[in-house]
Structure 1
Amino acid sequence: MTVRRIGRFGDPALRRASVEVVDVDRRLRALVRDLWETMEERGGAGLAAPQLGVALRVFTYHCDGYAGHLVNPSLWWSGEETRDGPEGCLSVPGLFRRCRRRRFVVARGWNMYGEPVEVSGSELLARCLQHEVDHLDGILFLDRLDERERGSAFRAIRAASWFDGSGVVVGQDPHSSF
């Protein structure tokens, strides 16, 4: 297990859609362990492979009393209800903004051994699952902010000591997914 570098806003790897995992092998298990170790070390609620520069559909999560990982996840909406709530990201250090997410979701995928997994979540867990699946599709939570929140977030990012402005790719508005 290794704590790895997390890509920050502006890293092009964060804007690429990931490909499905086809080989369930020791390399996949090592990636899951690296994701877990890095997420825990950095105090995150979740971490997706693209944040480590790996374009595979894999993420780990540890929030709201639930912990695990999903390989090749898909999300299913359980109802139409949405909630605005605070959200942050290890790839955008120190920034938290109100973001609208589905209140209830079901995530289906596999574990690192190829066994089926289903996770049902509401509130914080649902937010976490949606956030991580977005990473796998090249979407950042910043893309889901309303116009006012997004403007405020980008001003804060430009002022952040970690931001150098190189490689910034602005995402498409994913709001139509609601």
Structure 2
Amino acid sequence: MAVLPILISGDPVLHQRAAEVTEFDDDLKRLVADMNDTMHAAPGVGLAGPQVGVPLRLFVYGWSDDDEVRHEGVAINPELWISPVPTGAADEEDEAEGCLSFPGERFALRRAERAILTAVDEDGEPFEVHAEGWLARIFQHEYDHLDGVIYVDRLEYPLAKAAAKAARKNGWGAEGNSWLPGRDHLED
């Protein structure tokens, strides 16, 4: 398949709600395969359609937990239910998040500990996943992309100020900025 360019924060497609997937065809299967190739090449643990310039409600994910159990798949037209988000400051080590559309930066963000994801796969078959910990975080992060939210949009002061400074320093915030995994070198 192909590795796709990943849009960087500021491109309008990243900041608008994505549309429902209505066509379950070979083009969709090719897109899912390309998104998986792109996610692995980046490397990342999730990638949403808007991040590759496709304003559709789908994301791929792939992550191995501490027991080396692999959690991977595609979620199309997902719904997400989450437990209450804990109060207080996020732990800078355990709750640090990164994003392929805000590359090379990591900021701590509180997320719900548990989530239930319902969606369909590329064949239109429904499924449900009950997730905890890091997998629940991945689902919340990718689901946000489908609603036009990048994780840095959820940060509070002073981390929001640091993220804005990083965006300015890197020249982000405008349409058309992207990077290509495997070709462009970006530090994590």
Q: Give the alignment's TM-score, normalised by structure 2.
A: 0.83
- The amino acid that maps onto 1:154 is A
Give the aligned residue type for 2:166. Answer: A
Tell me the equivalent position of 1:155. 165
Question: Among 152, 156, 174, which residue is 1:166 paired with?
Answer: 174
Q: Counterpart of 1:26?
A: 26
Sort the Cα spacing of 1:55 and 1:164 in 2 relative to 1 into closer, same or farther, 3 A: closer
TM-score by length of 1: 0.88
Matched residues in 1 for 2:165 and 2:47: separation? 24
Is the counterpart of residue 120 in structure 1 residue 130 in structure 2?
A: yes
Q: For residue 33 of structure 1, report the CA deviation from its aligned partner.
A: 0.6
Q: Which residue of 2 aligns with 1:69?
A: 74
Deviation of 1:159 (Å): 1.7
Unaligned runs of 5+ in 1: 169-178
**Which position in structure 1 is the counterpart of 2:118?**
108
- 1:82-108 per-position Cα deviation (integer Å, ceiling 9, x unaligned): 383110100111000001111100110
CA shift in 2, pair 1:164/1:157, >3 Å = closer
Deviation of the 1:165 alpha carbon: 4.1
* Percent of pairs with identical residues: 40
Q: Distance in 2 between matches of 1:81 and 1:71?
A: 24
Q: Deviations over 1:37-92 (max 9, x none)?
A: 00000001100000011011010011233111100001012x32538311010011
What amino acid does structure 1 have at the position aligned with 2:75?
A: L
Residue type of the alignment partner of 1:89: C
What SS does the aligned partner of 1:95 have? strand
8 Å CA contact 2:167–2:173 kept in 1: the answer is: no
Structure 1 position 137, deviation (Å): 0.5
Structure 2 residue matching 1:24: 3-state secondary structure: coil
CA deviation digits over 1:99-158, x for unaligned, max 9? 111110011000000111112111111110000010000001011111211101111222
Higher normalized helix content (fraction of residues): 1
Are 1:97 and 2:107 matched, yes or no? yes
**Greater relative CO (CA pairs within 8 A, separation 6+):** 2
Secondary structure of the 1:70 match is strand
Other-structure match for 2:86: 82
Q: Does the residue aligned with 1:114 lie in a helix, a strand or coil?
A: coil
C-alpha separation in 1, matches of 2:28 and 2:42? 21
Return the letter of the residue paired with 1:5.
P
- The 3 A distance-change label for structure 1 pair 93 and 2 is same
Contact 1:88/1:97, CA 8 A, preserved across alignment: yes
Describe the SS at the equivalent of 1:101. Answer: coil
Give matches, 1:128-147, under 5 Å. 128-147=138-157
CA RMSD of aligned residues (A): 1.6
Change (3 A) 1:150 1:81: closer
